[in-house]
Amino acid sequence: MQSTIVGTIFVFFGVIAFATGLLNWQALLDPARNYTFINALGPVGKRVFFCLLGLFLWGVGVAFLLGALRLGSDR
């Protein structure tokens, strides 16, 4: 049960991060809200970073949902 909840949360935030990079959502890409190492990537690098982060989070979420990753009490 816990892995399903965690997996759903990871998938949700992965989709949001990917959409942020893909659709150039300024509310989440605003330089004042991000760290300096992300700002050093430039505008295109920042979008690529968010797309890759979104794919990573989505992948971890799917792994939780498929049972490849589990939390402590679900083992």
Which phi and psi (to 5°) does residue 35 adopt?
Answer: -80, 160
Against a cut of 0.85, is the pTM above it?
Answer: no
Q: How far from the centroid of its chain's Cα atoms is residue 17's Cα?
A: 5
Q: Domain map of the chain by residue range? A: 2-74
pLDDT in tens, 23-68: 988 877 776 566 777 778 888 888 999 999 999 999 999 999 998 8
pLDDT at 57: 96
Helix ranges (DSSP H) in the chain? 2-23, 26-29, 36-39, 42-66
Return d(Cα 7, Cα 15) in angstroms, integer. Answer: 12
* Alpha-carbon span 57 to 70, nearest angstrom: 15
Hey, how many other C-beta atoms are within 10 angstroms of the C-beta on 5?
11
